[in-house]
């Protein structure tokens, strides 16, 4: 049985269209939530795992909308190889390959993204794939880049999220406190929306093969 770990509710809605019978766990974009979500899938009987959703670009070679099927996941200097057959069933032959870095926190600045790329040579980063990789189960990673490697994330990207969804009080409070971030937030929103369309189109074009 395949289990799917995502960070946000919107990501769960997308993958549910293509894997209607697979159990899906939500991390709520927290480190503890990712570990518990992966463990919950294993307890439910999942023998293979998929990490799905958005990722932050670390390399200038990936831009918003780039679909990545990772060949490895790096967690604290340890590398875990993705399952080749499972990766191919999720369109690996048609997607950007490369390493995916796991982080327990949001990577917010272009400076930090550049440093992490120099250290790991991973093309992108997310907050769930490491938890999937560390279960010891065969896994695949299907992610879409939502923000550039040279972008500093606006504060609302952090403050406006809670429990895996948009948190309106936090979003409004952040905008009041930092009104100059509005253009950057709008640009990020446009890129995120385009990324969601890109991953949905990829799944429609290359539906999961089991």
Q: Which CATH superfamily is domain 2-150+192-205 in?
A: Nucleoside phosphorylase domain (3.40.50.1580)
Question: What DSSP state is assigned to residue 82?
Answer: P
d(CA 62, CA 58): 8
pLDDT band at 132 (very low <50, low <70, confident <90, very high): very high
d(CA 23, CA 207): 18
> Can you name the residues that pair with 124 across neighbouring β-strands?
57, 100
Q: What is the mean pLDDT of the chain?
A: 89
Question: What DSSP state is assigned to residue 123?
Answer: S
Please give the pLDDT value at position 188.
Answer: 75
Range with the poorest average pLDDT among 81-85, 129-133, 147-151: 147-151
Please give the pLDDT value at position 155.
Answer: 61
Which conformational region is residue 51 in: left (phi greater than 0), alpha (psi within -120 to 50 degrees), or beta? Answer: beta
> Tens of pLDDT along 70-105?
999 999 989 999 999 999 999 999 999 999 999 998
**Contact residues for 61 (Cβ-Cβ < 8 A; gap 6+):** 123
pLDDT band at 164 (very low <50, low <70, confident <90, very high): low
């Amino acid at each position: 049985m395949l289990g799917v770990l995502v960070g946000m509710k919107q990501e769960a809605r997308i993958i549910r269209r293509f894997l209607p019978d697979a159990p899906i766990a939500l991390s709520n974009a927290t480190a503890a939530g990712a570990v518990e979500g992966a463990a919950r899938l294993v307890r439910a009987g999942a023998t293979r795992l998929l990490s799905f959703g958005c990722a932050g670009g670390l390399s200038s070679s990936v831009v918003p909308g780039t679909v990545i099927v990772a060949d490895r996941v790096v967690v604290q200097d340890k590398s875990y190889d993705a399952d080749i057959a499972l990766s191919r069933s999720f369109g690996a032959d048609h997607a950007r390959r490369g390493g995916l870095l796991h982080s327990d926190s949001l990577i917010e600045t272009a400076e930090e993204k550049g440093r992490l790329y120099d250290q790991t040579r991973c093309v992108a980063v997310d907050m769930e794939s490491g938890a999937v990789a560390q279960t010891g189960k065969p896994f695949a990673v299907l992610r879409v880049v939502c923000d550039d490697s040279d972008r500093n994330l606006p504060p609302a990207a952090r403050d406006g999220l809670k429990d895996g969804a948009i948190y309106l009080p936090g979003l409004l409070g952040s905008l009041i406190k930092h009104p100059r971030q509005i253009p950057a937030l709008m640009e990020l929103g446009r890129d995120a929306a385009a990324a969601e369309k890109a991953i949905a189109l990829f799944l429609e074009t290359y539906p999961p093969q089991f």
